[in-house]
Amino acid sequence: MKKILLVNLLMAGVVSYAQTYCIPAFASGCSGGDQIDSFIIPSVGFTHQGTGCSTDAYGDFTSMTINLNAGLNYDFFVTHAFSNQNVRVWIDFNNDGTFDDADPELVASGTSTNVNGDNVTQSTIIIPATVTPGTYRMRIGDRYSSQPIPCNLLGYGEAHDYTVIIGAAPSCLAPSGVTAAAITPNSAQLSWTASTTTPGNGYEYYYSTSNTSPTATTAASGASSTLSANLSSLTAATVYYVWVRSVCSATDKSAWSQQATFTTACGIMNVPYVQNFESVTVPALPLCTEVVNDGSGNEWETYNYNDYGFTGKTLRYSYNYSNAADTWFFTPGINLTGGTSYRIKYKYANSSGTTVYPEKLKVAYGVSATSADMTNPLADHPDIVVSTATSNFVDFTPTTTGVYYFGFNAYSDANMNQLYVDDIKVEVTPTCSEPTLVTASNITTAGAAVSWTAATPVPAGGYDIYYSTTNTAPTSTSTPNFAGITGTTYSIPSLASNTTYYVWVRSVCSTSDKSAWSEHSTFTTLCSTTNLPYIVDFENATVPNLPGCTEDVNAGSGNNWETDFEPSSVPGFSGNVLRYGYDYIDPADAWFFTQGLNLTAGVQYTISYKYGNNSTSYTEKLKVAFGTSKDASAMTNPIADYPSINDKTLHEESLTFTVPATGIYYIGFNAYSDANQDNLYLDDINVTNANLAVSEVAQKKNELTIYPNPFTDVLNISDGKKVKSVLVTDVAGRLLKTIDNPSSELHLGDLKQGLYFVTLNMQDGSKQTIKAIKK
């Protein structure tokens, strides 16, 4: 009997390992972005990034192992390439080949949210303490709009399978069921269910306004010997996140529990009061704020607005066709002290691209959230036409201590457009104010002049400047690039060409008193010229925009060149292309200009490109030329002319040319098709030094080498007998030396330091050019 039982157990082990699991089938696939792209469990260092959409929307990754423990919770992240995704995770704990879509095998579920423009599902895998340690199969399913099921058949989505090894539960387990009750504006009472590993030293809790989970080393906010704790001194109308852990002994604490969350009640706020509208679900208002309509136009609402200097969500007034605006947005009441100077800051703007519809905004404060009590005007902006966010701040001093409300009044005329307000902040006026209106001018390929409006009071220690290629604001501890600048302008040197920069300025009132950083200014340095080889394949272009450092000029009244995705109607093009699309009325006269190329007189260059049209019944026309400026009238050196492109076929062209004088040249591609034709395509523009291009191919066949490289005086040829003559040219293409019937040693001690091209003309008629560096 015992033997049979043992055999059965062994069999069970073998069978569980060889289970056949259903393969999920998402009928609509995941190629539209409904996918598990990256899957990350940070606390155990598991990352499976950039997986994309697997074939048939299912990835068998059971060769990858994830190590987890019974009785612990694991935060995880999944990224997607489309919104509105639902994720579930299952583990086949009983090894029966089936994932139950319920406890205990359903270990996590979550829904994606938009995090800084990315679609991310953030949730927690919960491994029950009762799970037997062992090896199991884990499945993660993702589905658009609906919940995935383990053996999915329908919808958009993807699933991955992994192997998970569950270790034994730790000796000290976290409590469960954390909740908050008795919530007031400034307090809440936490309670939880006792840990099953009864902790001898009670519990610790941690709370934060950020939903980032604490780690083992995070200091607790407080401790409790019971199953509850009172939180006080909280901020009204604020979302809090809380975790609790068991303290089993002085040296044995559990992991943190599952996160719980609560929102404090409305109440009177204290400074600093910040309202960035990010907490809302548009078009709803933030907690404890209020909108009043005193007129017959529309009302303020919130709106997703991620451009023109705004990030995330804003307050917005959208026009009414017939009636003028008269709507107020009110903050909660804020405690202010009489005689103290306060500052209110905010951003505002008109709608994008519409300067013909001016908007109107007033800001005031008073003792209640009514327009009648808005008796203390702070600012009036009666003619807002700028679409980029403008920052403003006003200092004010209430005469009596009390509770005050701040009102933003949209009073635009009827039938205007949109008015935006964001980043409202009320604070005690800082002793050191930041400068305003930071702008950049005199932008070159390698620098820019930054100017600003002086702060009041003017800082005794001048200004600090911080710049970066990323739009992440510096903090008070960031090291400035330039410190203690006097005056209100500074030329930043040594920047990279064709690069976008962000720059901030702050005041230095004293070594211990520096202002906040200003709002940033942004600028892009100009394109420099380039050496060969020069390649444009349009793959990095953001369709329909042109690649950086190229330009289109419309010399007629038809359409313009733009980039487009791979044209399916013409075989042979791959990836993005440049396209001229017909205009019904007007013929084409559109130019596409390359970046400026440094070319040398007397050197033969090769230009190659692909072109074609998408029709046999319409005809396109293309000219290629070069000149010394990005201007149709400067394109005086013709390279090619195709007046009848109508075979719906890809053509590959390769031509040589020379330039009349050493200098900077632009190559122009001129679409000059008649009106009402179809599409003309261009791709893979490639300009090279003709000699070099040929010889670099030859090099692979002959495989002669020169050494040492870099060299000092003598350069050796690996097989000198094969070489008939040697030519040494510089990077500009100038011939410096000709050595006939060389030995294997070339004596080049008289060359200056630098890069040279050594051309080996072989006995068999082939040739090879090798770059060599003289030290």
Summarize as ranges the residues that interact with Ca ion (CB under 5 A): 35-36, 51, 54, 92, 94, 96, 98, 276-277, 312-313, 422, 537-538, 575-576, 683
* Residue 31 to residues 53, 79, 88, 158, 214, Cα–Cα distance (Å): 6, 14, 20, 9, 36
Q: What is the 3-state secondary structure (H, E, C) of 254-279?
A: CCCCCCEEEECCCCCECCCEEECCCC
161 vs 464 by CB, closer to Ca ion: 161
Residue nearest to Ca ion (CB): 51
> At closest approach, how far in Å is the CB of 422 from Ca ion?
4
Q: DSSP assignment, residue 674?
A: P
Find the shortest distance in angstroms from Cβ 319 to Ca ion. Answer: 21
DSSP secondary structure string, 591-643? EEEPPPEEE-TT--EEEEEEEEES-SSS-EEEEEEEESSSSGGG--EEEEEEE
Kindly state the smallest distance separating residue 624's Cβ from Ca ion, in Å: 17
Among 574, 682, 677, which Cα is nearest to 623's? 682
Structure tokens at 70: 């019974």
Least distance to Ca ion, CB of residue 35, Å: 5
Residue 54 or 444: the one with the smaller Cβ distance to Ca ion is 54
Nearer to Ca ion, 138 or 717 (CB): 138
Q: Which amino acid is at 54?
A: S
Give 94 or 189: the residue with its C-beta nearer to Ca ion. 94
Considering the complex, state which of residue 571 and residue 638 has its C-beta at the smaller distance from Ca ion.
Answer: 571
Task: Report how far apart the first and last C-alpha atoms of the chain are (Å, whole number).
Answer: 86
Least Å from the CB of residue 307 to Ca ion: 12
Measured from the CB atom, is 228 or 279 closer to Ca ion?
279
Alpha-carbon separation of residue 398 from 271, 403, 625 (angstroms): 14, 10, 70
Choice between 395 and 539, CB closer to Ca ion: 539
**Beta carbons of 366 and 407 less than 8 angstroms apart:** yes
Helix (H) or strand (E) holding 409: strand 402-410
Q: C-beta of 142: minimal distance to Ca ion in Å? A: 8
Residue placing its CB nearer to Ca ion in the complex, 19 or 705: 19
Listed residue (223, 392, 420, 221) closest to 312, CA to CA: 420
Closest CA to 301 of 325, 324, 321: 325
- 421 versus 728: smaller Cβ distance to Ca ion: 421
CB of 681 to Ca ion, least distance (A): 10
How far does CA 23 lie from the centroid of its chain? 34
Question: Residue 316 CB, nearest distance to Ca ion (Å)?
Answer: 11
Q: What burial class does residue 712 get, using C-beta atoms within 10 Å of its C-beta: 0-12 exposed, 13-18 middle, 19+ buried? A: exposed
- Least distance CB 158 / Ca ion (angstroms): 5
Burial label, 244 (beta-carbon count in 10 A; 0-12, 13-18, 19+) = buried
488 vs 688, beta carbon nearer Ca ion: 688
CA distances 594 to 87, 539, 599, 602, 630, Å, are: 47, 15, 13, 21, 8
Minimum CB distance to Ca ion smaller for 140 or for 508 = 140
Residue 549, helix vs strand vs coil: coil
Joined tokens for residue 399: 């005469």
C-alpha distances out from residue 647 to 577, 611, 621, Å: 18, 11, 12
Instruction: Give least dist CB 60 to Ca ion, A.
Output: 11
CA-to-CA distance for 303 and 280, rounded, in angstroms? 9
In whole angstroms, how far apart are CA 538 and each of 128, 385, 550, 561, 608?
A: 52, 36, 10, 12, 15
Closest separation in Å from C-beta 102 to Ca ion: 10
